[in-house]
Amino acid sequence: MIRHSITLHRGCFGGCSFCTISAHQGKFVSSRSEKSILNEIDKVTKMLDFKGYISDLGGPSANMYQMSGIDIEICKKCLRPSCIFPSICKNLNTNPEALTSIYKKANNHPKVKKAFVGSGVRYDLFINRLNESAYLKYVEELIQHHVSGRLKVAPEHTSDEVLKTMRKPSFDQFKEFKKIFERINNKYGLNQQLIPYFISSHPGCIDINMAELAIETKQLDFKLEQVQDFTPTPMTLATVMYYSGINPYTMKKIPVAKSKDEKLSQRKFFFWYKQEFKKDIVTELKKADRSDLIDRLFGKNVSEKPANIGKRNKKSRT
């Protein structure tokens, strides 16, 4: 996969609190020239095992190519950990035209059948700007010509509370992107899948947040596969919260799942559709007095069943 992939840029200004990319590649994106990228594509097409497919035109976030501050002097003094959370900085140029041009040129290479985007796409960079033609053209080009069947995106969670500790945008933006993805697929008669990535046990996340995640994603017809459990990594905000149990921005205590049991307990909600986890989920939500969540996840009968059985037993005894 790596052999036939092309790195377009390094660095990331997303500032997700669990990610180390900005710590070791930088918050300011360094982009290669178009010429250098096209030369490398040409070299890859000459490899003996090249079958016509570039596996990735990407970077830490696929769509930050040539994006940077408009006034660099302001950026030099800036202390914001993210240029796009909680909102996109007015000083950030997010124009995707240079990237759209590279996508088109890569696909137009005579020896390239398809050039895919395998790196994760940040939909929050364009989702509220699709009324502008440059952004719409980018999304159409991406979805129509550069998806290898499955497009990866990383909403990471559905709970606003947890997303805030992750420095990630609201899940509503993912829902909006899903609609656009489906609309473009229908428009061009494509049958491609959107693959969302999620994290369990991130500091600030509790089992109820995971139950809500299971419900939200079920309502969107997802049966999740691409998931991960939080792992603390050096030099990140999430790791500070993980070890200290405190959110340094508020200095308030924050819940942290640390033990194997706590972590497995959160993780099981991803797989609510597997029979082996259903019983545990139902028992736990009953204990938490959240039968409403059981109803929403499995249907009303599941949460009512034990109560009905009780009534039936009572009747049979009388």
Find the shortest distance in angstroms from Cβ 57 to ligand SF4: 24
**Distance separating alpha carbons of residues 157 and 46, to the nearest angstrom:** 42
**Distance separating alpha carbons of residues 32 and 215, to the nearest angstrom:** 42
Nearest to 228 by CA among 255, 251, 254, 196: 196
Find the shortest distance in angstroms from Cβ 63 to ligand SF4: 16
Find the shortest distance in angstroms from Cβ 78 to ligand SF4: 3
Judging by DSSP bridges, how do beta strands 227-229 and 193-200 pair with one another? Answer: parallel
Find the shortest distance in angstroms from Cβ 30 to ligand SF4: 14
Which residues of this chain interact with ligand SF4, rule CB under 6 A? 13, 69, 74-75, 78, 80, 83, 89, 91-92
Q: Given the complex with ligand SF4, which of 80 and 105 has the nearer CB atom?
A: 80
**Distance separating alpha carbons of residues 240 and 198, to the nearest angstrom:** 20
Find the shortest distance in angstroms from Cβ 169 to ligand SF4: 15
Find the shortest distance in angstroms from Cβ 143 to ligand SF4: 27
Find the shortest distance in angstroms from Cβ 140 to ligand SF4: 26
3-class secondary structure for 256-287? CCCCHHHHHHHHHHHHCCCHHHHHHHHHHHHH
Find the shortest distance in angstroms from Cβ 94 to ligand SF4: 10
Q: Given the complex with ligand SF4, which of 92 and 163 has the nearer CB atom?
A: 92
Amino acid present at 225: E
Find the shortest distance in angstroms from Cβ 113 to ligand SF4: 37
DSSP track, 64-77:
-TT-EESSHHHHHH
Torsion angle defined by CA atoms of residues 150, 154, 158 and 160, in that order, rounded to the nearest 10 degrees:
-150
Nearest to 140 by CA among 197, 194, 83, 183: 183
Q: Given the complex with ligand SF4, which of 26 and 245 has the nearer CB atom?
A: 26
Q: Given the complex with ligand SF4, which of 93 and 219 has the nearer CB atom?
A: 93
Q: Given the complex with ligand SF4, which of 14 and 155 has the nearer CB atom?
A: 14
Judging by DSSP bridges, how do beta strands 5-7 and 56-58 pair with one another? Answer: parallel
Q: Given the complex with ligand SF4, which of 6 and 16 has the nearer CB atom?
A: 16
Q: Given the complex with ligand SF4, which of 11 and 196 has the nearer CB atom?
A: 11
Q: Given the complex with ligand SF4, which of 169 and 196 has the nearer CB atom?
A: 169
Q: Given the complex with ligand SF4, which of 15 and 203 has the nearer CB atom?
A: 15
